Amino acid sequence: MTDIDTHTDATVDSQTNVGTGTETTLGGDALVSIEGLKKYYVNEQSIIDRVLGNDPESVKAVDGVSFEVAEGETLGIVGESGCGKSTTGETVLRLREATEGQITFDGEDILTMSDDELTAFRKRAQIVFQDPFSSLDPRMTAGDIITEGLRIHGIADQAERRETARDLLDRVGLSADQIDRYPHEFSGGQRQRIGIARALALDPEFVVLDEPVSALDVSVQAQILNLLDDLQDEFGLTYLFIAHNLSVVRHICDRVAVMYLGEIVETGPVDEIFADPAHPYTKALLASVPRVSTEAREGDFATLHGDVPSPRDPPTGCRFHTRCPQARAACRESAPPDYAVNDRRRAKCFRNDADHAYWDSEPIEENARSLEADATQ
Amino acid sequence: MSERLQAASGAGRGPDADDVLSVSNLSTRFFTEEGQINAVESVSFDIRDNEILGIVGESGSGKSVTSLSLIDLVESPGRITEGEVWYRNPELADEFRSNDAVSVDGDHIDLRTVPPRVRRSLRGPSFSTIFQDPMSSFNPSITVGEQIAEAVEVQRRATANPRSTRSRTQGYGLGQYLLDGIVPGRGYTSEESMDRAIELLEQVGIPDPADRVDEYPGQFSGGMLQRAMIAQALAGEPDVLIADEPTTALDVTIQAQILNLLREVQEERGMSIILITHDLGVIAEMCDRVCVMYAGEIVERGTLSAVFDDPVHPYTQGLLGSIPDLEDPRSRLQPIDGNVPGLLDSEMDDRCYFADRCPKAMQSCLEKPDEIVVDAEAEHGAKCVLAERSYDPDEALPADYFGGDSE
Amino acid sequence: MVSARVIRNLKKEFRNSALAKIGLVLVISIILIATFAPFVATHDPTAQQLDQSQLPPIGFSETAERTSSQMVDGEIQTVTETVEITPDPDHVFGTDSLGRDMFSRIVYGARTSLAVGVLGTLLAAAVGVPVGLLAGYHRGTVDDALMRVADVSLAFPSLVLAVALIGLWGRAAMDVPDPFVVAGLAPEMPESFVLPITVVIVVGLVNWVWFARVARGEALSLRGQEYVKASRALGASDNTIILRHVLPNAITPIIVLGTVQVAAIILLESSLSFLGFSGTTLSWGFDIAQGRDYVSSGQWWISSIPGFAIMLSVIGINLLGDWLRDALDPGIEGEGGAA
């Protein structure tokens, strides 16, 4: 990688394309559009704090996230623990109340919906959870679990619902005869299939998949990934795929957003980003993944220095500067805006701006020490 | 034991000189209400000086129970029902050579035959383990430094009384405990052990170790705590370190740090590591040799390149085919059909355990296969008839031979 | 709601535990005795036979001092004579100071205890469980408010609170017709059974907090379960979730608590009767009270036998509760799948 990060279509347009990703990253229609989403968890203040006038401590789980999901595509959100990806996924469906921001689904504003509108929305957007063991009510049969949504919305009568359950069980690769079995009689992978069937019962357009395969064995993972692929084609679904496993994301996603400490640091088509990352965090992430290959290892992993900072107290300026091997003093002072790397990609790093003061400021010493593989400064 | 088996695994004919540990026909069974569960079935392998051996498998493969069995941590209703665990320790071998109850072979001693007390005393100085969840491996109410110092202290007392294995770790009872509580300045650990603990924390890359030594586990992050666990494991200067899914619970960037640390530590000390994981990438990056486990057995083994580049057993092939590749995205993964078996003795037929999920199952698979050498030089063996013949569709078992529904 | 595995656990625990068997036997005995009281009792428990008073139970001969006024040598004198009293086989447990058959009083007393125990527990649960579930599920101000009320309630010793409430509301009782007697199947027995309503309400109100706490604890942990989140994602309202998901999964510890509460309420009712605050005189506690004066003079059975009855009931119910708790242990339920 050369000194200044250039990526295919050169011109970096620093100011005008900052902030909204709406026009530049997508060609097609956006089904879901998120703008400046924030989710803060505020601690209860003790009386003393209030008297002293202290600001309430808050955990900024999601701090200004913007992205879009086009109809029919699979957008991945990838990041490590504490980055806010799960919170983002749940907030998009209004399973958590956003602190600030705008979420638009098929032209409608989710955050200002009335209760009735929200109920209608639930039929169009669903979620599959990570843990196959706690995401199914142990006291309900598979059939009941799958058709719960239908019951809630008063769709179809009992006989029809049962038919639907049998049908869905079949579609997700289970035997329809297992409709009256309880969750503990199924394996992890099978339970996850039931969870998927449940999400599909209401015939949604948009499905948030929150780490759907992370808790599964490798061979079962592959089964479920294939299934999700097939279902997307069959039902014409749009996926928001949240994961921490980069290989899985590469396999199933069309585009990906990389999150770090509550922010999206890079967005773009998955193949491009993985081949040529524009943000040092993405680069470090990719370098850390152990490859299933017997080719000679090039020494140690290119590891990042230190731990992930706490979301309660994020670093000033660029949040990644405390661990970034290419951090400089400028990174500490101000936070990089969302640069357009090309018309499909964005990244929050000064290295994408050829004219920024970054290039004249001093490298941060502690970080420079840690990286073995990439020596460019 | 058949010659083919011996040749491939190197086990069964007794330990070699450069084997630190040689396991032979180890079986561990769990006797539960629902029936007998054969968690580990006749497993043999050895670990040599200065190497990292990988044991890879999914859940239900028996890999964790295997590691627990080595250090005698299997609890009721589980029990090791057969097998030999040869450990190379000349002093111990000498001590028990004349004892008829104990099996000794040169410098190796069979740990299954020594008194339980002795086995227990080996934990720390000879064998150490690090587990998946560091948070539950530490006592949350004692400082990290104290816990590491304890491990150091155990080692110190053990080496102070080399001739008497019985006295190792003994001598601390209720009386001592009460006394330590009352008399100020007394304690199980000494200042020297605490100093050594600080040293160890530094070696594992924890910044400001002198300060952190007084902190509690809750104040450490996951990655830091895993480092502390490694420090604790190293305190005894063990010959063999058993790492059971050490990085599964960690983020990928922290995992990279920990794996680097393990490699460093291994190189510096010439220690041997048994690395148990389900992550094939980790195996590929860390291990010299690897064993693949399925349903309590080792179904394939060999050097890393032999097993990963040239897998013979369809399970290994299936595993490798199920993983999305970071570098080379395929449009379709090749998963293995069906589910892992439940290991209930009554339900396990006397056939190849993988036959019901195997895309290449043939008539001969209805008999339990021995381990067959694929490539003696690479020590590559597989428990599959395909090691010495090719797949013949004419002999294939019909798709629904095993009944039930596969997924 | 009750899965096969639960039933299997119940059976297994039962097989292995002698105490569980004892508990079950005791409890079933009490239930049968109380239900079929008119057939089990030998006499009408309210019938006084003054000439048969203070008879000892079978197997015990008592000497008693009888004081009477007699004419001795033309003067009225108080004469104390030591009389030996032999039991009457007609009265198995003897009689009390008014000549009422102790055995029958014990039998009917079982009805009172069981009725108050069960009804009181149901009332406490009916109040406490919804409160607890709402508090635990919604948390925040709802939780704070409800739990403060609970704290206040707990601050009062239950007996003191019960006495105070009874003092306020009186000792109203309800006459519940006894179906067996009305149908003519046991003609000598009283036609109606006196149910001390105020006591039922009071003990229910005093004990609701225990149910609230348990329910709240369960709701707190269950609300974080992913299937609750999943339900919300499907569009379920909070009340639907509480009824369909939280309550069924919380029911186990509530049932265990319920059994233990019955024992506690039986004790509470006995204490209230003992103190004279019950609306009925056909109660074990009442008998203990009335026998109190006679213990020192040798008629121990009037207090002791009801005392034994209480003891056996409470032991039986507690053993049953232990069995249920061990068998329904949450560590066993709800797990499964590949490990």
What average pLDDT is seen over chain B? 84
User: Are B225 and B134 contacting, i.e. CB atoms less than 8 angstroms apart?
Assistant: yes
Residue C333 predicted with pLDDT over 50: no
CB contact, 8 Å: B34 with chain C?
no
Residue A344, classed as helix, strand or coil, is coil
The pLDDT confidence band at residue C27, using thresholds 50, 70 and 90, is very high
- Say whether the peptide bond before residue B246 is cis (omega within 30 degrees of 0): no
Question: B350 CB near a chain A CB, below 8 Å?
Answer: no
Structural element, H or E, at residue A221: helix A218-235
- Which residues of C sit within 8 Å Cβ distance of B? 12, 338-339
User: Which residue from C minimizes the CA distance to A195?
Assistant: C230
Percent of chain A, pLDDT > 90? Answer: 48
| Pairwise CA distance, residues C311 & C304, whole Å | 10
Mean pLDDT computed over B146-172 = 70
CB within 8 Å of C337: residues ≥ 6 apart: A132, A133, A183, A184, A186, A187, A188, A191
Residue B49 has, within 13 A of its CA and on its CB side, a CA count of 8
Mean pLDDT of B165-184: 66
pLDDT digit string (tens) for A92-114?
999 989 999 999 999 889 988 89
Length of chain C counted residue by residue: 339
**pLDDT on residue B367:** 86
Q: At what angle do helices C301-327 and C284-295 cross, to 10 degrees?
A: 140
Tell me the pLDDT tens digit for each residue of B5-25.
444 444 455 678 888 899 999
Q: Are C218 and C249 in contact (CB under 8 A)?
A: yes
Element (H, E) at A118: helix A115-122
C339–B340 C-beta distance less than 8 A = no
**Could you tell me the pLDDT band of residue B74, with boundaries at 50, 70 and 90?**
confident
Tally of CB atoms within 10 A around C75: 7
Q: Are B209 and B202 in contact (CB under 8 A)?
A: yes
B260–A301 CB contact, under 8 Å: yes
- The C-alpha atoms of residue B66 and residue B301 are separated, in whole angstroms, by 15
How buried is residue B329: exposed, middle or buried, by Cβ count under 10 Å (0-12/13-18/19+)?
middle
In the predicted model, what is the mean pLDDT of residues C292-296? Answer: 83
Mean confidence (pLDDT) of chain C: 84
Q: Which residues are within 8 A (CB) of A144 and not within 5 positions of it... i.e. 6 or more apart? A: none
Residues whose CB falls within 8 Å of the CB of residue C35, separated by 6 or more in sequence, listed in order: none
Give B197-251 pLDDT, tens digit per residue.
Answer: 999 999 888 888 888 889 999 888 888 899 999 999 998 888 899 999 998 888 8
pLDDT band at residue C87 under the 50/70/90 scheme: confident
Query: What is the reported pLDDT for A254?
Result: 93
Average of per-residue pLDDT across C266-295: 87
Q: Which residues of A touch B405 (CB under 8 A)?
A: 174-175
User: Residue A43's pLDDT band (boundaries 50, 70, 90)?
Assistant: confident
B342 to chain C, minimum CA–CA distance in Å?
8
Please judge whether A218 and B319 are an interchain contact, meaning their C-beta atoms are less than 8 angstroms apart. Answer: yes
In chain C, residues with a C-beta closer than 8 Å to the C-beta of B340 are 338
pLDDT of residue A6: 42
Res A5: pLDDT: 41
* Residue from B356, B369, B367 nearest B397 by CA: B356
Cα A87 to Cα A100: distance, rounded to the nearest angstrom: 13
Indicate which of C5, C221, C223, C227 best probes the interface with A, i.e. most A CBs within 10 Å of its own CB. C227
Which pLDDT score, from 0 to 100, does residue A367 have? Answer: 64
Cβ pair B23, B244 in contact under 8 A: no
**Are A126 and C5 a contacting pair at CB < 8 A?**
no
Decide: A363 and A300 in contact? Cβ < 8 Å: no
- What digits encode the pLDDT tens for the residues B124-143? 788 899 988 888 888 988 89
pLDDT for res B339:
81
Q: How far apart are CA C214 and CA C2, in angstroms?
A: 20
> Is B256 in CB contact (< 8 Å) with chain A?
yes
Chain A: give the shortest CA distance to residue C232, in Å.
7
* CA neighbor of C318 nearest in space, from C269, C272, C265, C262: C262
Mutation for B interface: A211, A217, A372, most B CBs within 10 A: A217
The residue among A122, A139, A194, A220 with the most chain C CBs within 10 A of its CB, best to mutate, is A139
Going by pLDDT thresholds of 50, 70 and 90, the confidence category of residue C42 is confident
C10 vs chain A: nearest CA distance in angstroms? 17
Distance from CA of C325 to the nearest CA of B (A): 19
Percent of chain B scoring above 70 in pLDDT: 91
In a 13 Å sphere around the CA of B150, the CA atoms on its Cβ side amount to 13
d(C-alpha B149, C-alpha B195), whole Å: 8
Residues C103, C185: contact at Cβ < 8 Å? no
- pLDDT at residue A211, rounded to an integer: 93
pLDDT for B375 beyond 90: no
Per DSSP, A178 falls in state G
User: For the CA atoms of A89, A92, A93, A99, what is the dihedral angle to 10 degrees?
Assistant: 110
Q: Which of B314, B276, B281, B300 is nearest to B372 (CA)?
A: B300
**Which residues numbered 211-240 in B keep a CB inside 8 Å of some CB on A?**
221, 223-224
Average pLDDT over residues A46-70: 82
Q: What's the confidence (pLDDT) of residue A196?
A: 95
Alpha helices in chain C (DSSP H): 4-16, 18-35, 37-40, 102-138, 140-155, 158-169, 179-182, 197-222, 226-234, 238-241, 247-274, 284-295, 301-327
Give helix B252-269 / helix A280-288 axis angle, nearest 10°: 50
Chain C residue with Cα closest to A207: C233
DSSP C85-139: E---TT-TT-B-TT--BHHHHHHHHHHHHHHHHHHHHHHHHHHHHHHHHHHHHH-
Query: How confident is the model over B300-350, as pLDDT tens digits?
Result: 999 999 999 999 999 999 999 888 888 777 778 888 888 888 888 888 888
CB contact under 8 A, C3 and A152: no
3-class SS of residue A302: coil
Q: Kindly report, residue by residue over A222-251, the tens digit of the pLDDT.
A: 999 999 999 999 999 999 999 998 999 999
CA-CA distance, C229 to C225, in Å (whole number)?
A: 7
Q: Does residue B33 sit at the C interface (CB-CB below 8 Å)?
A: yes
List the one residue out of C273, C252, C246, C260 whose CA is nearest residue C321: C260
Closest partner CB to B304 (pick from A173, A221, A294): A294
Each residue's pLDDT tens digit, B175-191:
777 877 777 666 677 88
What is the model's pLDDT at position C263? Answer: 92
Please state the rounded mean pLDDT for residues A351-364: 83
Whole-angstrom Cα distance, residue B146 to residue A150?
A: 57
Which chains share 3+ C-beta pairs under 8 angstroms with B? Answer: A, C
Minimal CA separation from C193 to chain B, in Å: 49
- How far apart are alpha carbons B382 and B374 in whole angstroms? 7
Mean pLDDT of chain A: 84
In chain C, the percentage of residues whose pLDDT exceeds 90 is 28
HSE-up of C281 (CA within 13 Å, CB side)?
8
Residue C184 has pLDDT above 90, yes or no: no
Which residue did the predictor score with more confidence, B314 or A368? B314
Residues 6+ apart with CB under 8 A from B170: none
pLDDT band at B373 (very low <50, low <70, confident <90, very high): confident
Mean pLDDT of B84-100: 87
pLDDT at A27 over 70: no
